[in-house]
């Protein structure tokens, strides 16, 4: 039986702690071509992906960190 996926499965996903979620998303999504898959803006969190590359971004001092 063949297992078919619409997108590649990510390897372990790094979580980056940043000083500004907005500025980080400008870089990752604006310049690097990533797309937001899931976010919690009120908590300063975003899960982004580009193909098989996935990254979690958390703003320091906001949300659950």
Q: Please give the domain boundaries of the chain with CATH numbers for all domains.
A: 15-59 (3.10.180.10)
> Phi, psi (5° rounding) for residue 46?
-150, 140
> What is the β-pairing status of strands 15-18 and 45-50?
unpaired
Looking at residue 11, what is its pLDDT?
Answer: 76
**Residues 18-48: tens digit of each pLDDT:** 999 999 999 999 999 999 999 999 999 999 9
Share of the chain above pLDDT 70, in %: 80
Mean pLDDT (the chain) is 86
Residue with the bigger pLDDT between 21 and 60: it is 21
Q: How far is CA 61 from the centre of its chain?
A: 18
Q: The pTM is what?
A: 0.78
Phi, psi of 4 (to 5 degrees): -105, 130
37/51 Cα distance (integer angstroms): 11
**Helix boundaries (H) for 1-65:** 21-25
């Amino acid at each position: 039986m063949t297992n078919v996926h619409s997108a590649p499965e990510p390897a372990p996903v790094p979580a980056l702690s940043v000083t500004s979620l907005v500025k980080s998303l400008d870089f990752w999504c604006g310049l690097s071509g990533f797309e937001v898959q899931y976010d919690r803006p009120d908590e300063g969190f975003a899960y982004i992906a580009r193909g098989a590359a996935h990254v979690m971004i958390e703003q320091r001092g906001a949300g659950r960190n």
